[in-house]
Amino acid sequence: MGIMPEHDLRQYLNIQAQETCRAFIIFAPAMAGKTALAKQMEIVLGAFRFDLQVYFLEQSDLSARIDRFRPKDLELILLGLDVSQNVVIVDNMDFLFNIWTPPMKREFMAMVDLRLKSPDITSKTFVFFLQTDPMVTGYRLTLQQRQQRILPLESFRAF
């Protein structure tokens, strides 16, 4: 396996904020510290942490129709968030990603890849924290960009 390249999260976000397609994914196995990093980003960087699992638990109608909840539904919720922060962290979404079919996972990846664009769609940078999944790690982003947008958790230096 070799040494992972180390990214400084602030520097990475600054570069990503200049891209047209700003969304990216940080992945790691279950219980590897994704939420801990998400909470650090919230505190240290002032990012908005959107805990999708808590959101679902608070919206009983969503929980009742979880089997019909699609990536497009998630996209509409994210684009509808009324928050001032420029960085939105989507945390604890594995409960949803894990029940999606392969075509739905591909649709989610396409959303991250192409649809959360700036400035025409959103001015925000979206950071998705996900468990390691072959659909995520095997996905190849289609656009030319300066930096990789699907990264393992361990490639980031702690604050």
Task: Name the residue among 103, 49, 9, 146 with its Cα closest to residue 111.
Answer: 103
pLDDT for 54: 96
Using one digit for the tens of pLDDT, what is the confidence trace for 12-26?
999 888 888 889 999
pLDDT for 64: 87
Using one digit for the tens of pLDDT, what is the confidence trace for 48-81?
999 999 999 999 898 889 999 999 999 999 999 9
Let me know: does 102 contact 133? Beta carbons within 8 Å: no
pLDDT for 146: 72
Answer yes or no: pTM beyond 0.85: yes
Higher pLDDT, 78 or 147: 78
